[in-house]
Amino acid sequence: MDYESWTKDELIAKLRSLDVKCNEHVKRPPPSGSVSPGSTPLADPAPPSDPAPSSDPASPAPPRKRKGRMVDFDFSRFPQRKVAFKFSYLGWPYHGLARQGNSLTSEEKHQIELTYPTVEGALFKALAHCKLITSETTCDYSRCGRTDRGVSGFGQVVAMYVRSTGKFITEEEARVIVDAGQEHLIIRDAQNGGRPVLLPSNEHELTYINMLNKSLPPEIRIHAWSPVAPSFSARFSCKSRFYRYFFPQSGLDIQAMQEAAKRYEGAHDFRNFCRLDPAKQIKNFERIVQSAQITRVSGQVKFVGDGQSEEGVWWQLELRGTAFLWHQVRCMMAVLFAVGQRLETPDVVDHMMDIQMTNGKPEYEMASDLPLVLADCAFDEKDVKWIRVRSPGRDSTNMVVLDRIVSKTWGELNTQAVIASALLQTVRDTQAPMLCERGSMDINYSLWSECRKQLLEADTQTVRVILGGGAIKQAKKYTPIMQRNRAEPVELRNQAWLERKTANKRARTDE
């Protein structure tokens, strides 16, 4: 037929008639009657004739057939393999990395996760949606570093067992493969009931990165995955962790901060640079800081700052160590801020690490969580070999999509920052009355930026302590850290917790 000569209404009517014909053909009932031996089967009823094309373009299309109920996924048909995932996340929308209980199996804990969302909660939801795990408690899950509320991660690593496209094979098939010198293609572990599993090539494995990133929110992105051994632990197999803490110059003495940061390097007792949890009964507070340095940000991140003002010049603490205590980095940064404001001298670091001199943590507020990032987690190359694309050299889809999503996120947040900057500039450019001498009737107007500067210089009674992330604590007087009240020694606090626990247990027994 010459469809090119048809009008739009005629084409629409023809399509609808074909749609009706297809639906009636699918729903056509089987022939009635029964067929007995030796009898002639009844002829199939004649197919319905084509309905006449409707000239009314507004006539409703026939209803589509409703899909049937989805059948439960049978995990027992598929083998599992242990893998590690490297991923990033922006921490401020979440209440930390660690999930609040098993959100997949408990309705109560699921409600907690909705109220206090966590990065792991979103990750496990995506894993369940992709049918990669059955439960958080049965996948041998481990994480490298536990970050607090508001803290971000660029190179966080977790490990677990997930579904694979590999296949179960017989013992005889396994022996043939081993005899051929290909034993590395077979795994046999408790997660698969001891049955031999033939692993697929990386190109034929499930597209873990693509699958998860489609189910995760845009602020959480999977960057790479790696096959790992059954004994691998994201926490205990990690060789070092690398943190970065970002801050603007804003009148800070960077040289003094650099001098103080160097004193963190080496093996030291950091009990006065962390938050103590007596329930964990930690007795060893010695940690090894491999490097600690203050560096300019613009050399590594070209999108930050314009360098026209101190607020536009950004710096970062780069901290690498084998392991860290709870809130250790934020406590270390709080002391560096005090040094940078010349409220403390660099040797305060040495005094606080001397547990004979300072046997009890002085009272001070730790730095903000917002600028802190777990930038990377390092492993032995023999343990982890990261896979970022499905076919190296031939496929870059994962990296293209990753770059597009992160660029979009950066664009949105950068736009918000520019708008907030423009608003601040508008406020600073407002004409406001200058301070005048008492009794004077002359009022001069000037830019608020000049008035603000005059007010700050005149206010000698207020101390503004920088805490990072835009947070500033104001006080009438600054008390040096070494002169402040101190908590009880760690040993006494641990003992007190044990005594309370024993007393509570005895009370419950008596009841």
Contact at 8 Å (CB) between 143 and 158?
yes
Distance from C-alpha of 187 to C-alpha of 133, rounded to nearest angstrom: 18
Does 395 qualify as catalytic in the annotation? no
Q: How does 407-424 read in b/e, with b if 16+ C-beta sit within 10 Å? A: eeeeeeeeeeeeeeeeee
List % helix, strand, coil for the chain (3-state, nearest 5): 35, 20, 45
Candidates 140, 148, 277, 350; catalytic one: 148
Distance from C-alpha of 181 to C-alpha of 343, rounded to nearest angstrom: 67
What does the block give as tokens for 188?
């046999």
Distance from C-alpha of 431 to C-alpha of 445, rounded to nearest angstrom: 6
| CA angle 156–161–166, rounded 5-degree value | 125
Name the amino acid, one letter, at 178. V
- The closest of 76, 231, 272 to 163, measured between CA atoms, is 76
For every residue of 47-103, DSSP letters joined together read: PPPPPPPPS-TTSPPPPPPPPPPPPPP-GGGS-EEEEEEEEEE--TTSS-SS-SS-T
Strands 266-269 and 372-378: unpaired
What does the block give as tokens for 258?
């650099």
For every residue of 118-145, DSSP letters joined together read: -HHHHHHHHHHHTT--S-TTTTT-EES-
Report the C-alpha dihedral over residues 166, 168, 170, 171, rounded to 10 degrees.
80
Distance from C-alpha of 193 to C-alpha of 350, rounded to nearest angstrom: 54
Strands 372-378 and 152-163: parallel
Query: Which residues are catalytic, by number?
Result: 148
